[in-house]
Chain A
Amino acid sequence: MSDATENAPIAPAPTGDDDVIAKPGVLGSIKRFPFSIYPTLMLGLFFFIPFAIMIVISFAHRTTSTYEAGFEFTHYARFFSPLFTTHVWVSVQFAALASLLALVVAVPFTFFISRFRRKPQVVSLVFVLCVLTLSEVIVAYSLSVVLGRQSGLPALVQALELVDRAKSWYPSYWANLFGLSYFNVPFAVLILYPACTRLDRELTEAAQTLGASPVRTFFTIVLPLLEKTLLAAFILLFVFTMGAFVTPIWLGRPEDTMMAQLIADQALGRGNIPFAAALAVFFMLVTLALSLLTVWLRRSDKTGVAS
């Protein structure tokens, strides 16, 4: 069946010609492309349906240990409670700051890497990927060792006799912020990498022949051309950080609780599934909105640099 479409004219336009003939709905498409059944089924069944269920349950009525069918806005109403708003605000603050700090480090870093010769560039990328894919648990743990009283910097500070008695630097606000920023940097590098490689080398060289020092070139040529990408990167990092789970648990104090923890607490700790679901739905909508924003940003980039 699919052979017919494959044997279509040899002239270029390998993909478009089919569309002109048929404008089917979903069912028509499935009939013409039977191989699309499997992925549709898998994604539908194991992703979109669970989501639909979650949305439904966010309106459900909560009973003492579980929930039953119902339709109420009680859970969404709790969004306005001071406890909730505080935690959301805390999450937003951390996410924004951590994203900003990560970008400050990642922008020059990625720029430099993109200018390396092939071999060092590949090595750097492998390095970044290894750090990036490391579990939140491992990273948080490693940082806690570094910030810990026993074997980390505090111990070093004590050994250098700058203080009498070493104190652990975590859990604390700064430890959490540091951990979140740290975890964000490799991700930021990967987001910025395509755009940095698209920066024509001759542009920065031209700026230099016109008298701009390397620093000046960076701020007048490189950054403006990366503008849209930077904005998109910030948003993506923000969303990413908002989902932080282990880091605030391990490196942060109770008052540094973030969104993901909140949801886990409600769902697993207190068994308040509907409220957790409502939180998740809210979170999801915000995430989708921000993601659409980045897509729009990339589309409207006229300097052709954003990937």
Chain B
Amino acid sequence: MIKVAKIAFLTTIFSMFTAPLLIVAGVSLNAKKRMFFPPEGISMRWYPEIFEEAKWSAALGNSVTIAVCAGVLAVSIALPIAYFLWRHRVLYAKALFVAGLVPFALPPVITALGMLIFWSQAGYVGRVENIVLAHGVFLVTLPLVMISLGLESIDEELLEAARTMGADGKKLFTSVILPMVLPYMIAGYAFVLVLSMNEYIISFFLGQHVTITLPVQVLSSLRSGYTPVIAAVAVMFVLFAVVIFSLIARFGDLPKLLGAWSPKE
């Protein structure tokens, strides 16, 4: 009896979170320029349009560029902070760590406004670089937390053994620590990629209708006129996330990354 209820509950929830996306996928297959579900006539024509139609391909290009660069930026900031705190637990390191957590903890609109004001003052707005820097800083938190986790999980005895074999300082870092923490860096990078691609508010504020990212373009198109390209874009977003997270799950320890309790701890 209880088991039935449990299965029913789980099925309902999983369905609730898949159904809308399936419907959208269906809408994206409409042969005509109408947003019907079930779709009237099946056609894949809207998918190539993302790459062919100027405004969509530009938005896609912007989003990808920003995501790739912001990821590098975020990880490059996160790594020294995480390492710093792990190796030297001084107040400064702790403060820096907290500073790395703050941007993400605040609702994005606050960061968006702050950045806007900053760049307006500097007289340099609407550029891709603005968004790259904003995302890079805003999304530091995730790689920071993951890399910290990775460093914490390094067995001290391993490091001591390496030291007795002559590795020290820089050598220790490059030959022992870095390889062990690399998977976490990659996972962190992947998370930033996905989040940056999907990010709306900051991109909207800073893009100032000059640099338009994919999510911004989607909302803009929704307001002006409906085409199934929007649905196709939505499907692409989902597929992108699925691929990235499946890869992380395949090559990494996803439960551990998300904070699961390891029995030996």
Contact = CB atoms under 8 A, between A and B. Distances in A.
B264 interface: no
Contact of B109 (A42, A190, A280): A280
B60 interface: no
Interface string B184-201: 000000010011011111
A283 interface: yes
Contacts of A155: 37
B223 to A, nearest CB: 9
A47 B137 contact: yes
A184 B168 CA distance: 46
Contacts of A15: 86-89
Given A39-B100, A150-B36, A197-B260, 7 more contacts: A14-B159, A36-B81, A38-B77, A38-B80, A39-B80, A109-B9, A193-B258
Nearest to A262: B109
Contact of A142 (B24, B88, B136): B24
Kindly name the residue among B90, B102, B115 whose own CB sees the greatest number of chain A CB atoms within 10 A.
Answer: B90
Given A141-B222, A145-B37, A133 B194 contact: yes
Question: What 7 A-B pairs come out closest when comparing CB atoms?
Answer: A243-B107, A151-B37, A194-B259, A3-B169, A50-B118, A135-B198, A142-B20
Interface in A141-157: 141-143, 145-146, 150-152, 155
B137 A240 contact: no
B258 A190 contact: yes
A109 B105 CA distance: 24
A210 interface: no
B137 A46 contact: yes
A137 B113 contact: no
Given A112-B6, A146-B23, A280 B241 contact: no
B178 interface: no
Interface residues on B, range: 35 or more
Contact of B234 (A121, A142, A240): A142
A250 B222 contact: yes
Interface string A54-83: 100100000000000000000000000000
B245 A126 contact: yes
Given A138-B237, A264-B205, A268-B205, A145 B118 contact: no
A273 interface: yes
B249 A152 contact: no
Interface in A9-52: 10, 12, 14-16, 18-19, 24, 26, 29, 33, 35-36, 38-40, 42-43, 46-51
Given A36-B84, A141-B234, A277-B113, A135 B200 contact: yes
